[in-house]
């Protein structure tokens, strides 16, 4: 039986710390403020944005959601970002993805000021991460939250064989950099990898972020491994399931995250934590 990595509980602890930090900042007249820009009517995005807004309010962070129509031009979106970049009352800015076709997502990530880039996607911040900089800079919230989980559950990183399934800019790549910076031996596998399971079976730490339900099964996991499931997939009944087949993986793994209640809550908690960090770093 694997130990369950309880992301929900850990998120409560992180949120309590964030709330205390916000209270402390407010006593000094500093009010952390997060701007979320939502383009179009994507249903899932609307839910994510609402959850972020609700959590921010609970923690005392000022949160504004700016809604733009589906057919907004790139120039208009970039102009809005520029306004927030120049607004001294704003500490964090993020644009919810996916974005409509006419918008160049890379141009949007470049436009957000690195010091307000609460998602950590700006190439300058990605460069800080990949060069293992000792400066303060924001990092993509999902992998940063996973690092908090690994730390809280005392998973040894130095020298561990860490395998990441998926190489997205949001999860796989920043996760690889964070683990490498923590002295793990890192392998990233993806859809073009030959015999992916030969790698996963050798992983002390296995992080799965593909968006393919139940891609990883118990037989693909090294006995005793720490398994982090980032996937958020809906099955035919609309139930949330991960990229890992929990039922077959749980008896093999040493530690494992559930879906839901694992990585998801920690991502939002880390976003709030990072909003406060950006606020402090800008003082």
Query: In the bound complex, which residue of the shown chain has the CB atom lying closest to ligand NDP?
Result: 168
Among residues 166, 174, 254, 258, the one that binds ligand NDP under rule CB under 6 A:
166
Find the binding residues for ligand NDP in span 201-220 (CB under 6 A).
209-212, 215
Q: Which long-range contacts (CB under 8 A, 24 or more apart) does 106-109 make?
A: 107/74, 107/78, 108/77, 108/78, 108/81
Question: What token pair was written down for 218?
Answer: 């118990």
Active site residue 119: yes
Residues 6+ apart with CB under 8 A from 166: 172, 188, 190, 208, 209, 210, 211, 230
Shortest distance, position 23 Cβ to ligand NDP, whole Å: 26
Known binding residue 167? Answer is: yes
Instruction: Answer yes or no whether residue 120 interacts with ligand NDP by CB under 6 A.
Output: no
Find the binding residues for ligand NDP in span 220-279 (CB under 6 A).
230-233, 263-264, 267
Planar angle of CA 223, 224, 225, nearest 5 degrees: 95
Cα 2 to the center of its chain, rounded Å: 24
Known binding residue 20? Answer is: no
Nearer residue to ligand NDP within complex by CB, 63 or 200: 200
Active site residue 52: yes
Active site residue 19: no
Instruction: Answer yes or no whether residue 33 interacts with ligand NDP by CB under 6 A.
Output: no
Nearer residue to ligand NDP within complex by CB, 106 or 183: 106
- 67: number of Cβ within 10 Å: 13
Instruction: Answer yes or no whether residue 167 interacts with ligand NDP by CB under 6 A.
Output: yes
Nearer residue to ligand NDP within complex by CB, 53 or 85: 53
Find the binding residues for ligand NDP in span 175-194 (CB under 6 A).
189-192
Instruction: Answer yes or no whether residue 200 interacts with ligand NDP by CB under 6 A.
Output: no
Question: Catalytic: which of 33, 55, 96, 128?
Answer: 96
Interface with ligand NDP by CB under 6 A: which residues? 142, 165-168, 170-172, 189-192, 196, 209-212, 215, 230-233, 263-264, 267
Q: From the annotation, which residues make up the binding site for NADP(+)?
A: 166-168
């Amino acid at each position: 039986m694997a130990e369950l990595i309880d992301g929900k509980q850990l998120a409560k602890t992180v949120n309590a710390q964030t709330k205390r930090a916000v209270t402390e900042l407010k006593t000094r007249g500093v009010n952390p403020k997060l701007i979320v820009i939502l383009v179009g009517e994507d249903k899932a995005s609307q839910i994510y944005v609402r959850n972020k807004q609700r959590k921010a309010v609970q923690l005392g962070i000022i949160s504004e959601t700016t809604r733009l129509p589906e057919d907004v031009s790139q120039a208009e979106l970039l102009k809005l970002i520029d306004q927030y970049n120049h607004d001294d009352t704003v500490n964090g800015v993020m644009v919810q993805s996916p974005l409509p076709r006419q918008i160049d997502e890379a141009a949007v990530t470049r436009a957000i000021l690195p010091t307000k880039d609460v998602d950590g996607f700006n190439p300058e911040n990605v460069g800080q991460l990949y060069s293992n900089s000792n400066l303060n800079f924001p990092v993509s919230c999902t992998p940063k939250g996973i690092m908090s989980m690994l730390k809280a559950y005392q998973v040894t990183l130095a020298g561990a064989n860490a395998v990441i399934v998926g190489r997205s800019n949001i999860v796989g790549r920043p996760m690889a950099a964070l683990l490498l910076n923590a002295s793990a031996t890192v392998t990233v596998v993806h859809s073009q990898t030959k015999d992916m399971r030969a790698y996963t079976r050798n992983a002390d730490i296995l992080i799965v972020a593909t968006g393919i339900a139940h891609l990883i099964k118990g037989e693909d996991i090294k006995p005793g491994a720490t398994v982090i499931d980032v996937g958020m997939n809906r099955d035919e009944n609309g139930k949330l399931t991960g990229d890992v087949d929990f039922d077959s993986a749980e008896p093999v793994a040493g530690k494992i995250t559930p879906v839901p209640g694992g990585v998801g809550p920690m991502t939002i908690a880390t976003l709030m934590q990072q909003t406060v960090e950006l606020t402090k770093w800008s003082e």
